[in-house]
Chains A and B, each alone.
Chain A
Amino acid sequence: MTIDSVRGAPGTPGVAEPELIQLLTPEGERVEHPDYPLDLSAEEIKALYRDLVIVRKIDLEAVALTRQGELGIWASLLGQEAAQIGSGRALGAHDMVFPTYREHAVAWCRNVEPLKLLGLFRGVNHGGWDPAEHGFHLYTIVIGSQTLHATGYAMGVQRDGVLGTPSAGATIAYFGDGATSQGDVNEAFVFASVFNAPIVFFCQNNQWAISEPLERQSRIPLYKRAQGYGFPGLRVDGNDVFACLAVTRKALENARTGQGPTLVEAYTYRMGAHTTTDDPTRYRLKAEEEAWKLKDPIERVKAYLVRNDLADAGFFEGVEDEAKGLAKELRAACLALPDPRPLSIFEHVYAEPHPLMTEEQEQFAAYLASFEDEGVAS
């Protein structure tokens, strides 16, 4: 190989790992960070634990539903629960979220019924919730597009003149490590920077973009990119729900008070396949997955709760049972989702009547009816 494509690649032996903001070690030990004091009650910590367990269970159920052919595909969040619950629970009522297709746990925090997430993956709709109702925009599959929408939304909030007031809302855009290569994402950084938009760019660096490792996207740690655009960037342990909560809280508050954008790189790992159609054994080593297993985002919270005598076996069992129950309900509701009616194809395309489309719709309706006339089910 004559092309020097590995020079300075992140993770290269001998190159120091950049500072990772961490408040809870993988062993479940609480550590302090001067910039991110966090004071959580036992109840708050237990609530975070409950969230983590539930979203993992829901995710596993969706994977199972896909294996059984009930969903067409599923993008699992396995391993990224802390990044999503931590940041999701930092959100306030006025904040607005622009997710990718993997933010199931953030959706959970925004009270989007898990069933609603399944519609897209089962193929009964393309989204199906009202973004304004939940402060949670539709999933975006085209990589990076939503970062510009988020930036524009934040520019709108800015123009409303509410920043610094109690009704100020920050905007948070989720995206992956792969997405950082897209023009749209880089343009979002530029717009957010020059307009000082009230936005948090929340990048879940799960180390992979399908089969491509981070080195295919960047030679410097992603959070360092922010500096070049002119706003702060930081890297947080994405498997540490405390740190993700604290860091996102602060970044959101900065946005709400008119201090502009922040890039948060949540350093985490996609424990599962990219989606249920992907086969990671083709491109990554089991050993890497094993190493990340030791940094599990849920185990460390459990260890902390146990070590500090904040929860007993009954609590853990209760959460487990609740999660199982929710997963079961989700399964039943998924199976009960009706297939769309054929003529629903023509719904919600335009706000006002569209003669050509109406004509097509009428023709198609007549065509379908012709089968019924023949006594053939259509």
Chain B
Amino acid sequence: MQSTAWYTSLVLILLLSAIFIFVLRRSRDSGDAAEVARRAYAPRSKLFALALAAGVIITVVTLLPWPHQLQAGAGIDRVVEATARQWSWSLSEDRAQVGERIEFKVSSEDVNHGFALYDPDMQLVTQIQAMPGYINRLQHTFEKPGEYRILCLEYCGLAHHAMTASFTVSPN
């Protein structure tokens, strides 16, 4: 998912940069302003329609299934309660098996924190906010065994960066 974001952005950034450079290289030439405007503005509404259509399609595709996946307890193999406080996590359980569907019930005893699950290669696999007075539910199926880390991803004060815990996923 991260690389999708990176390459999509990179391609679009390079494309837009190319357009700017193309125009810049002709900025010292002389041309008729009215003619330039007429030709440049003609495709604009088509582009707008195109971008709009792309937006609608991407929205539908990326929101189905709903990213917070909340099929009310359906198929949940294990529930883990994760409670944040400045500056530590307490987990009702700290291990699971590959293939199990886990529901983390995430909450906080003091300020806002962020519950982020990092895989053994320190890639962020999923996250949810930890908030006082609310329980945020996060569902995840582990695909790789190993030592996962939980990091705090919402700034919560002096030891924010040190607020970590580990979570072990064993092969089944």
Q: Tell me if chain B binds chain A.
A: no
